[in-house]
Amino acid sequence: MSERERNVELVRRAFEAFERRDLGGVQAVAAADVEVGAAPELPNSATYRGHDGFATWIAEWLDAWGEFRIDVLDVEAIDDEHVVVDVDQTGRGAGSGLEVTQRGLAYLVDVRDGLVTRLFLYPNRAAALAAAGMG
């Protein structure tokens, strides 16, 4: 299996663990100093670091939603260290009950030495590729 294939598999496992709400499974594939967040134009855009920060980022997001899911559309290694995950996200507001769907979002995931070192959400694939220096 190539480095790119291993990285794609690692990222798929991370998203599957998130969908099961298995925080331990998510953290198991993340470096101790992992950096997570979202682009400034998106909700919950602050940057968080480390396993505790990752857990806080996830908890803050899920607390806002009574229901939330990420539909993974495609996972692609764009080089030996970067994986782009194209997604749609759907949530139902915890307080309002309103359903919101965000389509065409993309996560840029940096992988080094078999661990996720950075995971950032962007408003679209082009923005994620630009962040990877592949604009």
pLDDT level of residue 43 (50, 70, 90 thresholds): confident
Extract the runs of DSSP E, i.e. beta strands, from 39-114: 48-49, 65-77, 82-93, 99-112
Q: Tell me: the pLDDT tens digits for 49-73?
A: 999 999 999 998 889 888 999 999 9
Number of structural domains the chain divides into:
1
pLDDT level of residue 103 (50, 70, 90 thresholds): very high
Q: Is 115 in contact with 31 (CB distance < 8 Å)?
A: yes
Please report, for the domain that includes residue 50, its CATH number. 3.10.450.50
What is the structure's pLDDT at 10?
98
Range of the domain at 70: 3-131
**Separation of alpha carbons 131 and 39, rounded Å:** 10
